[in-house]
Amino acid sequence: AQSVTQLGSHVSVSEGALVLLRCNYSSSVPPYLFWYVQYPNQGLQLLLKYTTGATLVKGINGFEAEFKKSETSFHLTKPSAHMSDAAEYFCAVSPMDSSYKLIFGSGTRLLVRP
Amino acid sequence: EAGVAQSPRYKIIEKRQSVAFWCNPISGHATLYWYQQILGQGPKLLIQFQNNGVVDDSQLPKDRFSAERLKGVDSTLKIQPAKLEDSAVYLCASSLERGGGASPLHFGNGTRLTVT
C-alpha cells in the first residue's frame, strides 16, 4: 500500500530564510505527487503537482518541489520565507492506477518568525 | 468560478445524536470526495463518488456513516449515531474527472464537528 511520510510536524524559520519541508513516499511505482497548503479554517489548496516530465516542479507563491525517484522524495522548498507562508502543508500521493485515490501525509505546520 | 460550498461551517452535538453535512461541488465536476481530517492528521478519504455512483467507500464506517449524491451534483454525509472520536473537520472536494493525476481536487472550507 502507498504511504506518505512527512518529517517534522512543525518547522520554524525566520522571515527571509529558506523553507524546506520534507516528504517521502513508499511505492514500487512512482506515483503522482502533490503538495497542498491549508490556511487556518480553510480547505486545502493545491500548491504544485508532479505527474510526468521535468522533475523540478514550480508552483504558486514561489514554492517548488523536486521529484527524486532514487530517494523516493518530493521535498518542498522556497528560497525566502514570508510571514504569509505560515500554514499547514500536506504532501499527497496518488497511485498511477485506476483508483486515483489521494493519500495524504500527516502534515507539517510552518511557523515564520519575524 | 464558484468554489466548493459546504455547510454548516461548525456543528456541536452530543454523542449518540445524528448530524448531516451538505456539499455543493464546482459546476461540471463529475467526481466528489468526502474526507475526514482529525486534528493533527492529514485528511483521510471516506467516500468517492463518480457522478452519482460510489467509486470507493472502503474507509467509510458504514455502521454509522452514510453518504449520497443525488442527481450527480450535491452530496450529503450523515453520521448516526455520533461518537466522540468523530470529532473532526469534514472536507468535501470535487474534481473534473477522477482526480489525483491530471485533474486536481478543489476543496471546500470544511465543516468542523465537535461531539461532546
* Local confidence band at A98 (pLDDT 50, 70, 90 cut-offs): low
Q: Which pLDDT score, from 0 to 100, does residue B34 have?
A: 96
Q: Which pLDDT score, from 0 to 100, does residue A30 have?
A: 73
How distant, in Å, are the alpha carbons of A18, A104, B108 from that of A85? 12, 20, 20
Q: Which pLDDT score, from 0 to 100, does residue A31 have?
A: 81
Return the higher-pLDDT residue of A97 and A44.
A44
Helix, strand or coil for residue A30? coil
Across the interface, which of B4, B98, B110 has its CB nearest the CB of A100? B98
Q: Does the pLDDT at position A102 exceed 80?
A: yes
Q: Which pLDDT score, from 0 to 100, does residue A106 have?
A: 94
Across the interface, which of B4, B102, B105 has its CB nearest the CB of A51? B102
Chain A: give the shortest CA distance to residue B28, in Å: 19
Listed as ranges, residues in chain B with pLDDT below 70 are 1, 98-102
Averaged over A2-23, what is the pLDDT?
A: 94
Mutation site, B9, B21, B29, B105, interface A, largest A CB count within 10 A:
B105
* Local confidence band at A47 (pLDDT 50, 70, 90 cut-offs): very high
Mean pLDDT of chain A: 91
Torsion from C-alpha of B37, A98, B25, B81, nearest 10 degrees? -40
Chain A residues within 8 A of B104 when measuring between CB atoms: 34, 46, 49
Q: For residue A80, which of A19, A1, A3 has the smallest C-alpha distance? A: A19
Kindly determine whether residue A41 and residue B109, on different chains, have CB atoms separated by under 8 Å: yes
* Local confidence band at A60 (pLDDT 50, 70, 90 cut-offs): very high
